[in-house]
Structure 1
Amino acid sequence: MVRERRLVIASGNRGKVQEFEEYLAAFALTLVPKPEYLDIEETGATFLDNAQLKASQVAVALGEWAIADDSGLVVHALGGKPGVYSARYGATDGERIQRLLGELEGQSDRRAEFVCAIAIADPQGHICAQSEGICAGEIIHHPLGEQGFGYDPIFREITSGLTFGQLPPERKSEISHRAKALVQLYPQLMNLPIMAPADATGDGDIP
């Protein structure tokens, strides 16, 4: 009997959940979003701190394997802001974008990076795998494109010359910060107990 390999995505952001589903589609995993009632406060000083915090707390609360990411925009001219506060820079994507563009008004240095840290925790809350990916680009003056979410319409990726809002989802999934973090995570994921084959009798649970 083949057992279900469940992995809880510790996010309520539908855009992130969809990207995880696309990136991990090749693995024999049943991906489920965390329950809406389970809200984890992001108190870490770094993206990796927050990813570990969310993965660990969701895993313990549900008694299941959990994967979490924390990602955001780092803008050179703003001393790294909005950074770990990227999602809290306003109430909506539009408000966050307008605040950022306002803070960059008159700035010639528009360099920025999207950063993504990912962590996986076992049901006891121990961090078993982690990675980080960075995608370099610049902040443009006006939003372009309807794809993606968050700051995507104002972040122009260097190699393509297009904003994440203009890139087709399949192209973004190849070059984004989350894609780069997941590529680093794949070898670690393959070695985790959750990926172990079912035993011959089908008895017991995946540790």
Structure 2
Amino acid sequence: MELCFATNNNHKLEEVSTSLGDAFLLKTLNDIGCTDELPETSGTIPGNSRQKAEYVWTNFGVSCFADDSGLEIDALQGEPGVDSAFYSGSRSFENNIKKVLTNLSGESNRKARFITVFTLLLHGVEHQFEGIVEGQILQEPRGIGGFGYDPIFLPDGHDRTFAEMSLDEKSKISHRSKALAKMVAYLKDQVKQ
């Protein structure tokens, strides 16, 4: 079965390709001739994921899936949420972390969660798969691995931040891997039918 992953991020593509196995021919946006900037204007994580997948299906007629992720912090009423990548007004991980820590200054409630939603459009029929990992926002960054908010996110039940874990350790418990596992299980079930 041919599927397009609405990304040109090689790391994401490799992760998904490994999980899917040989039953699927995975294509990128470049492979299907899509050089457009995909829309992300819905205001929600599930909505942005849906928008990107719908754009590919509508304009290229290819079964596809897209993802969107964000960090939600309770004391900040869910911010940065859908704006996680540009929270500080730029894509700078360092500036985004600084803004979160500044906004949480003096706040005792540090509860937060990472969320990923994959939207799959299989022959035009939509399915969504969500992965969530709960945790706490630390007072200061720890670790040098990962990306984004990983240095300040301590997942529940662990004593190391995502940035202090190896990629393999993180991927076993991450929000992305949880959502991806649900989607892969669904796709493999479809192939059997």
Q: Place the TM-score, normalised by the shorter chain, in its bin.
A: 0.7 to 0.9
* Aligned with residue 26 of structure 1, among 1, 9, 21: 21
Partner of residue 95, structure 1: 95
- Report the Cα offset of residue 33 of structure 1: 2.9
Taking the aligned partners of 2:14 and 2:185, their CA distance within structure 1 comes to 22
Partner of residue 200, structure 1: none
**TM-score, length of structure 1 as denominator length:** 0.80
Residue 95 to residue 13, structure 1, CA distance change in 2 (3 Å)? farther
Partner of residue 203, structure 1: none
When Rg is computed on C-alpha atoms for both structures, the one with the higher figure is 1
Taking the aligned partners of 1:141 and 1:15, their CA distance within structure 2 comes to 29
What amino acid sits opposite 1:108 in the alignment?
A: S
- Report the Cα offset of residue 60 of structure 1: 2.8
Is the Cα contact below 8 Å between 2:20 and 2:184 reproduced in 1? no
- Which residues of structure 1 form unaligned runs of 5+? 198-207
Is the Cα contact below 8 Å between 1:147 and 1:167 reproduced in 2? yes
Runs of 4+ residues deviating >4 angstroms: 12-15
Partner of residue 120, structure 1: 120
Residue 138 to residue 52, structure 1, CA distance change in 2 (3 Å)? same
**Equivalent pairs: percent with the same residue?**
35
- Report the Cα offset of residue 72 of structure 1: 0.3
Taking the aligned partners of 1:141 and 1:32, their CA distance within structure 2 comes to 41
Q: Secondary structure at the match of 1:97?
A: helix
Residue 78 to residue 19, structure 1, CA distance change in 2 (3 Å)? farther
Taking the aligned partners of 1:150 and 1:21, their CA distance within structure 2 comes to 23
Partner of residue 10, structure 1: 6
Residue 45 of structure 2 corresponds to residue 47 of structure 1: yes
- Report the Cα offset of residue 27 of structure 1: 4.8
What amino acid sits opposite 1:10 in the alignment?
A: A
Residue 182 of structure 2 corresponds to residue 166 of structure 1: no
Q: Secondary structure at the match of 1:165?
A: helix
Taking the aligned partners of 2:86 and 2:125, their CA distance within structure 1 comes to 26
Q: How many residues align?
A: 188
Partner of residue 204, structure 1: none
Partner of residue 67, structure 1: 65
Q: Deviations over 1:47-92 (max 9, x none)?
A: 2111111111123333322111111000011011111111121312
Taking the aligned partners of 1:15 and 1:152, their CA distance within structure 2 comes to 17
Residue 10 to residue 133, structure 1, CA distance change in 2 (3 Å)? same
Taking the aligned partners of 2:93 and 2:9, their CA distance within structure 1 comes to 12
Residue 43 to residue 79, structure 1, CA distance change in 2 (3 Å)? same
Taking the aligned partners of 1:131 and 1:171, their CA distance within structure 2 comes to 22
- Which residues of structure 2 form unaligned runs of 5+? none
